[in-house]
Amino acid sequence: MKRALLIAGPGSPDPDVLRVVEAVRGRADYDIVMAVHLEEGALAEGIASAAAGGATRVVVAPYVLALDLEGREDLRRGMEEARRRHPGVEVTLAEPLGGDERIVDLVCDRARAAEVKGGAAEAVLTVDGLVRRPLRLTYADLRGAPGQIEDVGAMAPGRKGAGLRVETVLSQADPGPSARQITFHSADGAFEASVSIQEARDRGILIYRLREDPLPESAGGPVRLIIPGTEDACNNVKRVVRVEVKA
């Protein structure tokens, strides 16, 4: 059985919706994935296109938070028309995105990202301890630093995001001659991890953004430490807000 997924959104598919379609194609096991306009005629045409491609089951997934009465009626009529034209095709309607907890997380992440990007004076990372120049770095400071790593996955397979080497930050802070260790502190104070200053300088990476947006808390933001090439969980610290240089 060949299956199709139609991602139905308001208006013509914009670049964000098309990116979602591409991502779903790579992740889900549907034979056909396409974007369609969320209205009666376009929906019927999309189902017809899927049927012409050999699909015998079509799932329509509304890419909206909720549907008003008019939107639900458009969907109902479009699906009825498709069933009439293609009696051998099973057409199923998924629920809108609605109040799913993942949507709540996304709203919180987006709100926090707006605050971080808009709050030029708000520090997201502090570097202190045995340093000559203590730092309070904003998102803009991190974004403007040299040596940006645009794809940390090239250095740490499976990881997503962009960031900086720990060395880039330490070179600005200028550790003193007695510095031997670095402790990374999490935002809630419940977790910290220490590594040698040499290991941190040689291999440590601070992930702080996804493309051009701040790294969300759900992904370990504002800053996440990774040290590629090690399985030690202490070398993967989420929600880092302070880097402390110690003897």
pLDDT tens digits, one per residue of 64-74: 888 888 888 88
- Asked, as a colleague might, if the bond just before 222 is cis with ω within 30 of 0, I would say yes
120-246 under CATH 3.90.420.10, yes or no: yes
- Name the fold adopted by 3-98: Rossmann fold (3.40.50)
DSSP, collapsed to helix, strand or coil, labels residue 197 as helix
Check residues 19 and 234 and name the one with the higher pLDDT. Answer: 19
Coil vs helix vs strand at 161: coil
Predicted local distance difference test score (pLDDT) of residue 14: 74
Sheet containing 32-37: order of strands: 32-37, 3-9, 57-62, 90-93
Matching residue, tokens 């709540």? 104
Residue 235 pLDDT > 80 = no
pLDDT digits (tens, 9 = 90+) for 159-180: 999 999 999 999 999 999 999 9
Cα–Cα distances in Å, from 203 out to 3, 197, 199, 245?
Answer: 45, 10, 6, 16
Lowest average pLDDT, out of 47-51, 96-100, 110-114, 216-220, goes to 110-114
Section 54-62 average pLDDT: 92
pLDDT grade, residue 185 (50/70/90)? very high
Residues of the chain with CATH 3.90.420.10: 120-246
**Rounded Cα distance, 141 and 55, in Å:** 51
Q: Where in the chain is the domain with CATH 3.40.50.1400?
A: 3-98
How long a stretch of residues is the chain?
A: 247
| Residue 121 in tokens | 């004076």
Q: What's the helix, strand, coil split of the chain in %, to 5?
A: 35, 30, 35
Q: Place 231 in a pLDDT band, splitting at 50, 70 and 90.
A: low
- The yes-or-no verdict on residue 11 having pLDDT over 90 is no
- Cα separations (Å) of 37 from 9, 12, 151, 215? 5, 6, 33, 31
For residues 213-217, average pLDDT: 88
Q: Which helix (H) or strand (E) holds 34?
A: strand 32-37
Q: What is the pLDDT of residue 168?
A: 96
Residue 107 pLDDT? 84
Kindly indicate the confidence band of residue 54, based on its pLDDT and cuts at 50, 70 and 90. very high
Residue among 20, 89, 55, 83 nearest 75 (CA):
83
Q: State the DSSP H helix or E strand holding residue 29, giving kind and residue range, or none if neither.
A: none
In 3D space, the residue among 67, 86, 73, 13 whose CA is nearest the CA of residue 40 turns out to be 73
Q: Cβ(155)–Cβ(228) under 8 Å?
A: yes
Q: What 3-state class would DSSP assign to 236? A: strand
Residue-wise pLDDT for 113-171, tens only, equals 777 766 555 788 999 999 999 999 998 899 999 999 999 999 988 899 999 999 999 99
Please give the Cα distance from 24 to 16 (Å, whole number): 12
CB 161 within 8 A of CB 149: no
Q: Tokens at residue 14, please?
A: 């914009």
Half-sphere exposure of 163 (CA within 13 A, CB side): 28
Per-residue confidence band for 32, with pLDDT thresholds at 50, 70 and 90: very high
